[in-house]
Chains A and B, each alone.
Chain A
Amino acid sequence: SQQGEEDPQALSIQEGENATMNCSYKTSINNLQWYRQNSGRGLVHLILIRSNEREKHSGRLRVTLDTSKKSSSLLITASRAADTASYFCATDTGRRALTFGSGTRLQVQP
């Protein structure tokens, strides 16, 4: 069964706008990770947030984690056309087996 579910499934914005993607999960986790995938290519790790953290930043990325609601959000600020990709959250319950959601497809219009 899927652990993470992303919302929305698809998002289209203009360059310069912010993009927010949400992820919900079902069981307790050690950490939650966000990955990016360009059109059928391999996934690239973006950011990891541990279960005892509430917010983390990396460049234009901001991730929040609410373990009481079992949810996380990924914010990309000042988006660029090159940010067009699919974004996946993945939960790690402690045995290194990442469980991925079905992803959010982000389209950034130039």
Chain B
Amino acid sequence: EAQVTQNPRYLITVTGKKLTVTCSQNMNHEYMSWYRQDPGLGLRQIYYSMNVEVTDKGDVPEGYKVSRKEKRNFPLILESPSPNQTSLYFCASSPWYQETQYFGPGTRLLVL
């Protein structure tokens, strides 16, 4: 089944403890992106990647890192999480020829 998967789906952590949220797609898509969703603010883009080894900042990149070493994977790294990074995170992907994006199921993160 064609899909975008994220792990973990739920995570509770403490301030300063490094964590990684994985994102993987099996559709051979070139473009991948991370968003965060907060109440009343809709989705905001954190980072995106047009292809392997090509990443760029979105609207809210502070406090996050990404890497794109393989086409299928696009992990989101929080080196030192803070409570204001408590949010619902979505990974998305799309092929180079298509503007619509396919979203993963989301990762709900709570930073204490």
Q: Given A30-B99, A40-B88, A96-B94, does the pair A4, B59 have CB atoms closer than 8 Å? A: no
Q: Given A30-B99, A48-B99, A92-B99, does the pair A41, B42 have CB atoms closer than 8 Å? A: no
Question: B49 to nearest A CB, angstroms?
Answer: 10
Question: Do B31 and A100 touch across chains, with their CB atoms under 8 A apart?
Answer: no
Q: In the complex, which residues of chain A have a beta carbon less than 8 angstroms from the beta carbon of B101?
A: 45, 98
- Which segment, of B14-22, B68-76, B78-86, B103-111, faces chain A? B103-111
Contact of A96 among B41, B43, B99, B103 (CB under 8 A): B99
Q: In the complex, which residues of chain B have a beta carbon less than 8 angstroms from the beta carbon of A102?
A: 40-42
Give the complex CA separation of A90 and B99 in angstroms. Answer: 11
Interface mask (A33-53 → B, CB under 8 Å = 1, otherwise 0): 101000011111100100000
Question: B87 to nearest A CB, angstroms?
Answer: 12
Give the complex CA separation of A30 and B88 in angstroms. Answer: 27
Question: B97 to nearest A CB, angstroms?
Answer: 12
Question: Do B104 and A103 touch across chains, with their CB atoms under 8 A apart?
Answer: no
Question: Do B59 and A97 touch across chains, with their CB atoms under 8 A apart?
Answer: yes
Q: In the complex, which residues of chain A have a beta carbon less than 8 angstroms from the beta carbon of B44?
A: 100
Give the complex CA separation of A40 and B43 in angstroms. Answer: 12
Q: Given A41-B105, A96-B31, A96-B50, does the pair A2, B99 have CB atoms closer than 8 Å? A: no
Contact of B48 among A33, A92, A96, A100 (CB under 8 A): A96
Question: B84 to nearest A CB, angstroms?
Answer: 18
Contacts A45-B102, A90-B43, A97-B48 known; list 8 others, CB within 8 Å.
A40-B108, A45-B100, A45-B101, A96-B31, A96-B50, A96-B99, A97-B45, A100-B42
